[in-house]
Amino acid sequence: LKYTFLSFQRNITECPTYQFMLEQFKNHKVTSEKYCQGKHDVVHVADTYLCLLESTRKHQELTEMYGGKGERSIEASANIVGLKLPKTYDPNNS
């Protein structure tokens, strides 16, 4: 299984996040001697990490798409949301 991160393609087992999650699952096996936790607690933590990673990636995409370009003109801002400004009145062209 391959994943892409910042235009590099790697094997998923080399991903630090994958290695961290694998370690967490191994360390949090439910046993009566070691932990007093529900059987699905680690799955919930994994889902939470997944949500964090997906949200971070989406935030990065939105920031690249809409942010970081400095001040925009009113016309450029309107174009981003699909609006067009009316033509301004020019008394010399009437």
Instruction: Encode pLDDT of 33-44 as tens digits.
Output: 555 556 677 788
Instruction: Give the pLDDT mean for 21-49.
Output: 72
Whose CA is closest to 30, among 18, 16, 17, 44? 44
pTM: 0.41
The answer to whether residue 72 is domain-embedded is: no
- Provide the domain limits for residue 41: 30-66
- Per the structure, how many domains does the chain have? 1
Report pLDDT for 2.
Answer: 53
The answer to whether residue 8 is domain-embedded is: no
- Write the burial class of residue 17 (CB in 10 Å: 0-12 exposed, 13-18 middle, 19+ buried): middle
The answer to whether residue 53 is domain-embedded is: yes
The answer to whether residue 91 is domain-embedded is: no
Q: Assign 84 a pLDDT band (cuts: 50, 70, 90).
A: confident
Instruction: Give the pLDDT mean for 3-26.
Output: 70
The answer to whether residue 51 is domain-embedded is: yes
The answer to whether residue 77 is domain-embedded is: no
**Residue 5 CB partners (closer than 8 Å, separation 6+):** 15
Measure CA of the first residue to CA of the last residue in the chain; give whole Å. 66
The answer to whether residue 14 is domain-embedded is: no
The answer to whether residue 3 is domain-embedded is: no
Diameter of the chain measured on Cα atoms: 88
